[in-house]
Every structure is written in C-alpha cells, then in structure tokens.
Amino acid sequence: MPMLKKLTIVVLCSWLAACASTTQNSVSGVQRHQFLLLPTSTVNQMSSQSYAQTIQEAQKKQTLNADKALLNRVKTISNRLIAQVGVFRPDASQWKWEVNVEKNDQLNAYCMPGGKIMVYSGLAEKLKATDDELAAVIGHEIAHALREHGRERMSQAYVQQFGLQALASLIGGNMGTIAAQGAGMGSQLLFALPNGREQEREADRMGLELAARAGYNPEAAVSLWQKMTAANQNSQPEFLSTHPSSTNRIKDLQALTPKVMPLYLAAKAK
C-alpha cells in the first residue's frame, strides 16, 4: 500500500479514536466531541509534577495557606463543588483532589488536570468576593479539569509539532515513545496555551451548574465577572487574560441561570 494512503488511514483512525466527549450531558448542555490524542495518565502526571513544584515554591516563600480562615473557606466551597462532579463524570469523584490557597494579589485561580486546585488570595481580598462568587470561579476551573481542556489543547499542539509520523507511530504501537515526546513538552503547554472560546463557554456553563447543584446562587457568576472587569480598568486582571469578559458571555450566563436555578433551590431546600 502506498505510504501516502497508509498515512491517510492512520490519520483517520487516530482522529476517530481520539474524538470523544469527556463528560456526560446535563442541564448545561455541554456535549461537544473533543480531540484527545494524548493519554490522560500522561497529562495528569505532568500536571501533578507541576502542581507539586508550585506548592514547594509557595512553601519556601511562606505564601502557601498562610490565611487559615481563607483556606478553610475555600476548602469548604471546593468540597461542596467536588461532591457534584459525578453528575458530569462519575470517575472524577475518585480523583485525588487537592485544594490550596496562595498568598498572591493576582485575581487568579486554576484547577490542574486530575483535580489540583489553587486559589489566589487576591480573589477574596481584592474583590471582597462572596462565597457564591468564589464558587463561580472555582466551579469554572473545576469544569476545565472535568472537560480535560488541558489535555485537549496539548493534543492539538502535539499534532502540530510532531505531525503525521507521530500519528503513524501511535497507531503502530509505540505509545511509550509518543508519551515520552508528549511529556517532553512539559507543563509549559498546560499554562502557555490559552483556552479556546468554546472551552471557556463550556467551563462557564458547567461551572454555573456545579455551583447551583452545590447550593451556591448561580446569579453570582455575573456579579463576579463584573467585579473582575471593574477591578482594573486599564488592563485585564490576570484571571481574565485568557478568560475574556464580554457582553455575549454575560448574556450566555444570564440565559442559562433560569435553567439551573431549580437545582440551586433544591440544594438550598435540603
């Protein structure tokens, strides 16, 4: 069989095998198929190593979990959100979740692949964020992890960097080599590649539903984004550098709120 034909078949097979939705459909209506070439285990290992390094650096600077009251507050909110992740993917309930707070003025938070959460104190201190608003941020970041957006971005970058020969090797069974090459890109891709517009929309929608199911008012998502935008009129807050706020984004959240409000009311009634 000519090499070009073989490669074409390899690419098609790889594409079909890698296209799937990482989460179950729910009220938020997120069910897009994703291109997920790299193994979950490879990405999670990379993220765990990067998270551990971040923890070590914060410990050296004595900025890790310095405010015990804020840490307890963030953990309480996060744990209520984590308790709801099974709605989207049952396996996530068994992830080795971690929650930490770093003393940092940046308006930022993230959840690494596999459930490693970090919240910067600036969100609470500068924005004077309510629990409902913090739930909106943390829920948004948890949604990124549930949807494996980091793995999706890295898979796309991997194909761009290594091309058809890598795909052929993958189908040929050289997974160890492929995984090693993917890992060689390091955690840089986890942070350097911004989430796409559709990924952000998915995180907004799923995060809103997570917050509602956990008993946090979904209406707080709108006030949260408004606070972040107003916090710095001259330049975007760090959290918004890859999370562009827009009228359409607010409208989308407002349109979804009535759909998830019954979930919030049911949670509050328990």
CA dist 72 and 206 (Å) reads 24
Q: With contact defined as beta carbons under 8 Å apart, do 208 and 221 qualify?
A: yes
For residues 129-143, one letter each, b for 16 or more C-beta atoms within 10 angstroms of the residue's C-beta and e for the rest, the string is bbbbbbbbbbbbbbb
CA dist 250 and 240 (Å) reads 14
Q: Which two tokens stand for residue 13?
A: 């097979």
pLDDT of residue 196: 74
Query: What band does 174 get if pLDDT is binned at 50, 70 and 90?
Result: very low
For the four alpha carbons of 266, 267, 268 and 270, in that order, the dihedral sign comes to: positive
* Tens-digit pLDDT profile for residues 27-69: 999 999 898 877 888 888 888 988 999 999 999 999 999 999 9
Q: With contact defined as beta carbons under 8 Å apart, do 151 and 38 qualify?
A: yes
Q: Name residues whose C-beta falls within 8 Å of residue 261's C-beta, 6 or more positions apart in sequence.
A: 212, 218
pLDDT of residue 193: 52
Q: Is 16 exposed, middle or buried (0-12, 13-18, 19+ CB in 10 A)?
A: exposed
CA dist 85 and 95 (Å) reads 10
CA dist 164 and 20 (Å) reads 20
- Asked if 209 is an active-site residue, the reply is no
pLDDT of residue 9: 39
Q: With contact defined as beta carbons under 8 Å apart, do 203 and 141 qualify?
A: yes
Residue 246 in this model has a pLDDT that exceeds 90: no
Among residues 102, 133, 141, 209, the one annotated as catalytic is 141
**Rounded alpha-carbon distances, angstroms, from residue 199 to 44, 91, 169:** 19, 21, 29
